[in-house]
Chains A and B, each alone.
Chain A
Amino acid sequence: MAVKQREGMTTWQRRERGVQLAIWAAWLAGTAIFVYCWRLISDKTMWMFVWDAPEQAVDLAERMVPPKWSYMSSLWLPLWDTLNIATLGTLMALIIAVPVAFCAARNTTPSVVFVRPVALFVIVASRSINSLIWALMLVTIIGPGVFAGVLAIGLRSVGFCAKLLYEAIEEIDPNQVEAVTATGASGGQVLTYGIVPQVLPAFAGISVFRWDINIRESTVLGLVGAGGIGLQLDASISNLAWTQVSLILLAILATVILSEWVSAKARHAII
């Protein structure tokens, strides 16, 4: 037990001296790194622009109210596009993610040495690159539009879905798989009767979870030309049409809240 002798009395302490010192040193190092990084950022900042930000904010807020409600009529189609980008993108991601996940899970992969690292690299590469950057690339290849958005969301979500799914596959109960194997089932039958039923709830949960995230992400893809309500947002900001901007932000807010509600309901029903 960590105790300290002081004036002949033994007092309780939370930690041993060495541990306490190590924690203190870690705090010191952390603070030093933070202060250093902050200095560098501060050097690159024009503080003059920062100080007049409150005035700018008030000015901007004044220009943003009231929202231009009549503009809503031309937002329904972009909102529908946004929904489609998220849903079709999630669908595409799930179709690709399932085989990748089975290749990445230690207990189902065809080869731990050759196939698994490739699958893991696919997962990391897809996860590290933001959907906006995927969209930036895809717009150059296949042109601006909803399709580029669908592909961008899909490619970004593959890694996320595959990672969560392969973790779920690795956590299955091996006894059930063994029981199915013992009946003389073929490899495919073991998969459909022994493994799939065990990961199906996780799969459904992951898809709903990712769909919710994708709704959020697909609202901004238009900034680089990949369709959806982001296009209108970008255009309105460039035109300094701030009353339209505030309406678009409200529309995004409503969509996100709605999608969160739907996904919460769906996940509740699954679990």
Chain B
Amino acid sequence: MTAAVAGRRWRRPPFIKSARLRWTLFFGAALYLALALGTLDIDWNRVVEGIPRGRRFVMSFFPPDFLSRWAEILDGIYESLWMTVTSTVVGIALSIPVGLGAARNLAPRWVYLACRAVVALSRTFPEIILAIFFVKLFGFGPFAGFLALSVGTVGFYGKLLAEDIEDMDPGQAEAVRATGASWFQWLNYAVQPQVLPRMIGLGLYRFDINFRESAVVGIVGGGGIGATLLTAFDRYEFDSAAAILFIIIAIVMAVEYTSGFVRRWVQ
């Protein structure tokens, strides 16, 4: 026994067990990387040329200039916040029926399929593409951005709500149903208490996402801080742009901190 083992050394078991799959994946990845890097077409001259410019550019971000465009920045931030609040509320309100319909254990098959289709459609396109179209249809301004963010929220929240309902404990639901509760009572007393804590947390998370996205829809004319940011870039006022970025980071951090606090309090 010892003689046979002495010559062998223990080796870690590989992450992918099948050797064939492991090597296929390895060579596939290598081949892909070679192809991708080959067609990447990086203009290294441009990059090298850009490095001193980049340094100057990065330097021109500092110190951030909060003051000279303060009025515009404040305006943009407020607009972003309004858009965030309204789109989160409207988006969640719309996604509740969609989410209920998209839960397999709740809805009949045709409703399930229809609601899943709505969710899939609104999740496919990034908010910014939606914003482009809403700006075309509804004109420039925060209303288009609000709509784009709301549609994005429906896809996100509806999907997670549906999955959460599908994962709920069927025992509780059955117990409430056994008391002779109507459908709405059943929803209110059996389903809602089970999904609410997690959904409040996710709602706050979506609020956070919507604020970040509201900084982007402005680039295509959807209102909010993004418009101010784009103007700052176009005017080469990088110190104002840096100020805007710092404000965005600060607000995101504040929202994240608050939502963590609220989530702990709810659960």
Contacts and interface: CB of A to CB of B under 8 A. Distances in A.
Contact of B220 (A30, A150, A223, A253): A223
B50 interface: yes
Contacts of A219: 126, 129
B249 A45 contact: no
A57 B137 contact: yes
Contact of A133 (B137, B141, B245): B245
Interface in A171-225: 193, 197, 200, 204, 216-217, 219-220, 223-224
Given A130-B216, A147-B47, A219-B126, A41 B252 contact: no
Interface in B137-152: 137-139, 141-143, 146
A35 B47 CA distance: 50
Q: Give the size category of A's interface with B.
A: 35 or more
B219 interface: yes
Nearest to B61: A137
Interface string B7-37: 0000010010000000000000000100011
A172 B31 CA distance: 34
B212 interface: yes
Contact of B125 (A80, A88, A136, A249): A249
A114 interface: no
Interface string A122-142: 001101111011001100111
A220 B130 CA distance: 11
A33 interface: yes
Contact of A124 (B78, B146, B216, B253): B253
A256 B129 CA distance: 14
A238 B250 CA distance: 35
A237 B132 contact: yes
A64 to B, nearest CB: 10
Contacts of B230: 136
Nearest to B15: A200
A127 B253 CA distance: 10
Given A41-B146, A60-B137, A249-B129, A130 B212 contact: yes
Interface stretch (A3-11, A48-56, A67-75): A48-56
Contacts of B132: 237
A47 to B, nearest CB: 9
Contact of B137 (A56, A128, A132, A200): A56
Q: Give the size category of B's interface with A.
A: 35 or more
A61 to B, nearest CB: 11
B252 A127 contact: yes
A99 to B, nearest CB: 20
A87 B36 contact: yes
Contacts of B15: 200, 204
B233 A140 contact: yes
B67 interface: no
B53 A141 contact: yes
Contact of B126 (A124, A137, A141, A220): A220
B136 to A, nearest CB: 7
Given A219-B129, A257-B124, 16 more contacts: A33-B85, A44-B223, A53-B137, A57-B137, A60-B133, A84-B40, A124-B253, A128-B249, A132-B216, A140-B233, A147-B40, A223-B128, A224-B219, A237-B132, A249-B125, A252-B125
17 contacts: A38-B86, A41-B142, A45-B141, A53-B138, A60-B133, A87-B32, A124-B252, A129-B212, A130-B212, A130-B215, A133-B245, A136-B229, A143-B46, A146-B41, A150-B40, A197-B12, A224-B219
Interface of B: 12, 15, 32, 36-37, 39-43, 46-47, 50, 53-54, 57-58, 78-79, 81-83, 85-86, 89, 124-126, 128-129, 132-133, 136-139, 141-143, 146, 189, 212-213, 215-216, 219-220, 223, 226, 229-230, 233, 245, 248-249, 252-253, 256
Top 10 A-B pairs ranked by shortest CB distance? A49-B139, A128-B252, A37-B82, A45-B143, A141-B54, A142-B50, A37-B85, A128-B249, A84-B36, A53-B137
